[in-house]
Structure 1
Amino acid sequence: MFGRSKRNSAAKDEADLAKAFFAVIDRTQATIQFRPDGTIITANANFLNALGYTEAEIAGRHHSMFVDPDHVKTPAYKAFWDGLGNGQSFTDQFPRVRKNGSIIWIQATYAPCLDENGHTTRVIKIATDITERHDGIDEIAKGLERLQSGDLSHRVPGSSLPDIAALADAYNSAVGQLSTTIATVKNVSSIVERTAQEVGQASSDLSRRTETQAATLEETAAAIDELTATVRSAASAIKDVEQSADRAMATAESGGRVVSDAVEAMARIDGSSKKISQILTVMKDIAFQTNLLALNAGVEAARAGEAGRGFAVVASEVRALAQRSGEASGEISVLVRESTENVKLGVGLVNNAGSELTRIIDAMSGMREHISQIATGASEQAITLNEINTGVGQLDTVTQQNAAMVEQATAASQGLASEARELAAQVSIFRTANDGYPAAGSVVPFRSSNAA
């Protein structure tokens, strides 16, 4: 008796627990019961309120009234109910059609109830409305789909579900930052492209100017080479002139010494002429005295008569000789006077020549100094021109290197412009909120492969 009472008490407790369990499910979940063929038996208030029906409107009708008509026609839907009829349960997220035609998403489990032989007697579905969660996830999926297509203008609306709201906020923040970054990249890529084009144009212009400058430098170098050769030749010629001036000055100095010697010789000749004049004067006096003596001798011979005849002849001859001596002395005196005058004239001319030679020597000395300065300047100019030529050669080398570098810079700027255009093309697929492009197409709602 007591044993049966305990069993009854345990059974009652188990029944109470089951009743309480089903009461909790009925209060918190949407439930509906079907026959194995999908015919609706009953549904609780949560289910009816969620789909907008009354129990009378659904009792006896088929489960397919809640399913998209297109899906009802698929083999998957038939296989779904075949599986339930064979005792297979399904748990998934399912889209269902409300009475007003809107879609409700549920997290549901279809569980067959089996008899003692394992046959399905009915199917119970326990479901939870996850439409808000699904719609939130769907909005994020749409955003990701648009993000994949480059549309950064889409923003996910807020949600009352904390986790979905946090995910939406994170998505919106990330897309906003990405949109700002892409807008900046677009702007920068445009600026870089324009700058690269300007740099390329400037590099091209600089390249042309550098090539022109290089050609001018080559011509300048050639001209300086010729000028350097000319200056060197002039310096060499000036050296020759300097040497010729040295020789001319030496000759003039030698001529000056010769003139001095000639002046001294003329002075000696003048002295000798004076002595000869004195001797001739003496000779004239002697001739005069001899003539007087011969005259006296002739007078005395005449007085002597025949005895003095021979003496008279001698006296006559002596007188004639004295006369000729006097005449000769006179002629010599004339010649000596003329010679003296000529010597005086020659001395004057030689003195003048000496003075002129002195002035010539002084002038040649000054000229030689100037020639020496010119020669020194020409040599220094030749050295300077050689240094300038070396500098121009180095400048030409640097210019050629600059031309090569400018060509490299031009190629680099063209490459940069190409890369900037490529970057602009890459980021052009992104559409930000300020671009004004139409939004991407909506995403097809997710359906499980075994959705029923």
Structure 2
Amino acid sequence: MRNNQPVNDTEYVLRDEQYLISRTDSRGRIIYANPAFVHASGFSREELVGAPHNIVRHPDMPPAAFEDLWGTIQRGESWTGMVKNRRKDGGFYWVLANVTPIVERGTTVCYASVRVKPTRQQIETAEAVYASLRLGTARGTRLCGGQVKPAGVRGVLARLKRWRLTGVRSRLLAWAVLSASLFIGAAGAAIYGMHDRLSSSALAAAVALTAGGVALIFASGWGFARAIAGLLGAATDFTRQIAAGNLSTPLPGALTGDEIGELKFSLEVMRKSLVSITRDVHGGIENALQSAADIAEGNADLSAHTGRQAASLEQAAASMAQLAVTVRQNAANAQEVDAMANQASDLAKRGGNVVDEAAHAMQGIVQSSSRIAEVVGIIDGIAFQTNILALNAAVEAARAGEAGKGFAVVASEVRSLAQKSATAAREIKALIESSDARVGEGVRHVERAGASMRDIVESVQKVTRIINEIAATSTDQHAGIDTVSRSISETDSAAQGNAARVEQAAKAVANLRTDGARLRHAIEVFRVASAPAPAAALPGNPERLRRPRPLPCPGA
């Protein structure tokens, strides 16, 4: 016998509405465990399914209890008794267990156990009995079908007590005995009253008839008691199979047109209704699980798309931030260039003004040169006239002879000075003409420079306007990029929120699938036919399940 250790004195008390259900195969290995049993045992479902059922056996349980259990269920009978189980942490819990063989087509395919919370008095009684059985001090008691019963003479007396008027069979037999007693009394009184008028043969016949009537009454009562007890036993076994989750085995026996047939009909309708409900629930669970799987798949795709969108938005946000920095820098540069362009425009304007002033000055020089040329012309005329006068003076001095020699020398000097003055005037005139030509050329250059400076000023002004427009556009772009960045940030926050909601939806779908799996596991406690039931097997089909005809009315 398996001895699970360690153990402690920590008791786990079941709730009133807590029902522990499990199913084992013919070798005692767990093939099904409902959540209540899993929770009470302390093991996980994976640890329980496939393990021998004695994984929860407590060392305080006597071997005689399990010998009685296996002996009872292997005979095809149900076993009901108190069981103390061990939890995984070493604690324990008491249950009132019912173990029923699941029979299909006359063969036991598995065993179903349904456990409920016992009363404290049942626990105390079981502790005392199991302790005496475990220690070998039990005298005059034995276990039979999970119930503690006396052994020996006490057992015989206890079996005789079964005939008290508490059961249906006992009451029917008591009714037969009472009827037979009344019949014997009435027949005896009649025979006694007429014995002096009856012959011996007639008296013997009367006694024989009385004995036959008594036998008939006993036989009828016994047969009726057996029929009723058989029906109740079959109904009890049938309901135990239903309670154990076996919906595949129909109620044995043919339907009749009496109350028994009505009861069988109602029980069979109940079974088939449960089969239909179980199939509908199972189909709904499968559809729900498939829908949950589809939702999970779509949610996974949505999560992937949301993740990619969030990554793209983060990348776009980073790019927009970098672009915003660039545009901000461009705007600053544009403003700086605008200031420099305004400076250049001012300088160009001042340069144009200087060129204009230079042009005016050159015009003044030209005018002065013209005036100097006029003065030089006057000097040249004076030198020419002086030269003429000197020639005339020289001629007059020559006529004067010796008296005019001094005057001739002066006239010669004057003529020489006049010639030098004329030569100088001509040179000055040539220089003035050359200077005038150069000044004219300079004026033309200055005029062209002025025109160029005006063009430069206009170009600088155009560049300034363009730079102003660029600066304004950069400012607008910066504002737009800030707006786009905020929108991207909001979209990124929304995408992250969507990702969180997708994750929540994924958790909800996972919980739905887990709950669906648990519900499917819970509905597996009911065994139905693997193939769908044909139409002839459904409730209400007259060929398969015809409602029994009502009983005829008395006197009909």
Deviates more, 1:210-219 or 1:339-348: 210-219
Given candidates 331, 352, 362, the residue that maps to 2:458 is 362
* Residue 240 of structure 2 is aligned to residue 145 of structure 1: yes
- Aligned-partner Cα distance in 2 for 1:381–1:83: 105
* Residue 389 of structure 2 is aligned to residue 300 of structure 1: no
Query: Measured at CA, do residues 76 and 306 of structure 1 come closer, stay the same or move farther in structure 2, by a change above 3 Å?
Result: same
Q: Is the 8 A contact 2:169 2:228 kept in 1?
A: no
Map Cα deviations across residues 83-138 of structure 1 (whole Å, 9 max, x no partner). Answer: 89xxx97464339xxxxxxxxx867454597xxxxxxxx99976642566555544
In structure 2, give the amino acid aligned to 1:387.
T
Corresponding residue of 2:257? 160
Corresponding residue of 2:505? 409
1:239-250 correspondence runs (5 A): 239-250=335-346
**Secondary structure of 1:370 counterpart:** helix
- The size of the alignment, in residue pairs, is 345
Compute the displacement of 1:395 (Å).
2.2
**Secondary structure of 2:168 counterpart:** strand
Q: Is the 8 A contact 2:383 2:421 kept in 1?
A: yes
Query: Measured at CA, do residues 207 and 106 of structure 1 come closer, stay the same or move farther in structure 2, by a change above 3 Å?
Result: farther
Corresponding residue of 1:93? 168
Compute the displacement of 1:320 (Å).
1.6
* Residue 481 of structure 2 is aligned to residue 385 of structure 1: yes
Compute the displacement of 1:192 (Å).
2.1
**Secondary structure of 2:446 counterpart:** helix
TM (norm. structure 2) is: 0.55
- Aligned-partner Cα distance in 1 for 2:399–2:406: 13
Q: Is the 8 A contact 1:288 1:322 kept in 2?
A: yes
- Aligned-partner Cα distance in 2 for 1:376–1:397: 31
Percent identical pairs in the alignment equals: 31
Deviates more, 1:258-267 or 1:236-245: 258-267
- Aligned-partner Cα distance in 1 for 2:469–2:273: 81
Corresponding residue of 2:409? 313
Compute the displacement of 1:154 (Å).
4.5
Deviates more, 1:148-157 or 1:257-266: 148-157
Query: Measured at CA, do residues 80 and 138 of structure 1 come closer, stay the same or move farther in structure 2, by a change above 3 Å?
Result: closer
Q: Is the 8 A contact 1:152 1:432 kept in 2?
A: yes
Query: Measured at CA, do residues 220 and 362 of structure 1 come closer, stay the same or move farther in structure 2, by a change above 3 Å?
Result: same
1:418-437 correspondence runs (5 A): 418-433=514-529, 435=531
**Secondary structure of 2:526 counterpart:** coil
Map Cα deviations across residues 149-186 of structure 1 (whole Å, 9 max, x no partner). Answer: 22234555644234x55554544444444332221221
1:33-44 correspondence runs (5 A): none
Which protein is richer in helix relative to its size?
A: 1
Q: Which runs of 4+ in 1 moved over 6 A?
A: 73-77, 80-84, 122-127
Query: Measured at CA, do residues 134 and 107 of structure 1 come closer, stay the same or move farther in structure 2, by a change above 3 Å?
Result: farther
Compute the displacement of 1:294 (Å).
1.2
Compute the displacement of 1:203 (Å).
3.2
- Aligned-partner Cα distance in 2 for 1:81–1:358: 138
Q: Is the 8 A contact 1:283 1:329 kept in 2?
A: yes
Compute the displacement of 1:426 (Å).
0.8
Compute the displacement of 1:310 (Å).
2.6
- Aligned-partner Cα distance in 1 for 2:512–2:431: 113
Corresponding residue of 2:291? 195
Given candidates 210, 215, 220, the residue that maps to 2:311 is 215
- Aligned-partner Cα distance in 2 for 1:81–1:206: 73
Corresponding residue of 1:287? 383
- Aligned-partner Cα distance in 2 for 1:302–1:345: 52
- Aligned-partner Cα distance in 1 for 2:265–2:274: 14
Question: Which of structures 1 and 2 has the larger relative contact order (alpha carbons within 8 angstroms, sep 6+)?
Answer: 1
Map Cα deviations across residues 344-380 of structure 1 (whole Å, 9 max, x no partner). Answer: 1112112222222222222222222222222221111
Map Cα deviations across residues 214-235 of structure 1 (whole Å, 9 max, x no partner). Answer: 3333333222222111111111
Given candidates 446, 450, 455, the residue that maps to 1:350 is 446
Map Cα deviations across residues 421-443 of structure 1 (whole Å, 9 max, x no partner). Answer: 11111111213356479xxxxxx
1:227-238 correspondence runs (5 A): 227-238=323-334
> Whose Rg is larger?
1
- Aligned-partner Cα distance in 1 for 2:529–2:310: 53
* Residue 257 of structure 2 is aligned to residue 182 of structure 1: no
Query: Measured at CA, do residues 310 and 420 of structure 1 come closer, stay the same or move farther in structure 2, by a change above 3 Å?
Result: same
Query: Measured at CA, do residues 142 and 92 of structure 1 come closer, stay the same or move farther in structure 2, by a change above 3 Å?
Result: closer
Query: Measured at CA, do residues 90 and 203 of structure 1 come closer, stay the same or move farther in structure 2, by a change above 3 Å?
Result: closer
- Aligned-partner Cα distance in 2 for 1:327–1:399: 102
Query: Measured at CA, do residues 74 and 237 of structure 1 come closer, stay the same or move farther in structure 2, by a change above 3 Å?
Result: same
Q: Is the 8 A contact 1:186 1:427 kept in 2?
A: yes
Query: Measured at CA, do residues 77 and 286 of structure 1 come closer, stay the same or move farther in structure 2, by a change above 3 Å?
Result: closer
Corresponding residue of 1:338? 434
- Aligned-partner Cα distance in 2 for 1:278–1:174: 147
1:15-164 correspondence runs (5 A): 79=157, 90=165, 92-94=167-169, 108=175, 110=177, 128=221, 129=224, 134=229, 136-156=231-251, 158-162=255-259, 164=260
Q: Is the 8 A contact 2:317 2:489 kept in 1?
A: yes
Compute the displacement of 1:334 (Å).
0.7
**Secondary structure of 1:319 counterpart:** helix
- RMSD of Structure 2 on Structure 1 (CA): 3.5
Query: Measured at CA, do residues 139 and 107 of structure 1 come closer, stay the same or move farther in structure 2, by a change above 3 Å?
Result: farther
In structure 2, give the amino acid aligned to 1:184.
D
Compute the displacement of 1:330 (Å).
0.6
- Aligned-partner Cα distance in 1 for 2:435–2:304: 89
Q: Is the 8 A contact 1:106 1:131 kept in 2?
A: no
- Aligned-partner Cα distance in 2 for 1:259–1:333: 28
- Aligned-partner Cα distance in 1 for 2:523–2:166: 43
Q: Is the 8 A contact 2:169 2:226 kept in 1?
A: no
* Residue 404 of structure 2 is aligned to residue 329 of structure 1: no
In structure 1, give the amino acid aligned to 2:426.
G
**Secondary structure of 1:94 counterpart:** helix
In structure 2, give the amino acid aligned to 1:258.
V
Query: Measured at CA, do residues 108 and 224 of structure 1 come closer, stay the same or move farther in structure 2, by a change above 3 Å?
Result: same
Corresponding residue of 1:54? none
Compute the displacement of 1:333 (Å).
0.7
Structure 2: gaps spanning 5 or more residues:
1-150, 182-210, 534-556
Query: Measured at CA, do residues 329 and 79 of structure 1 come closer, stay the same or move farther in structure 2, by a change above 3 Å?
Result: same
Compute the displacement of 1:269 (Å).
1.7
TM (norm. structure 1) is: 0.67
Compute the displacement of 1:145 (Å).
1.9
- Aligned-partner Cα distance in 1 for 2:458–2:234: 115
**Secondary structure of 1:352 counterpart:** helix
Query: Measured at CA, do residues 93 and 77 of structure 1 come closer, stay the same or move farther in structure 2, by a change above 3 Å?
Result: farther
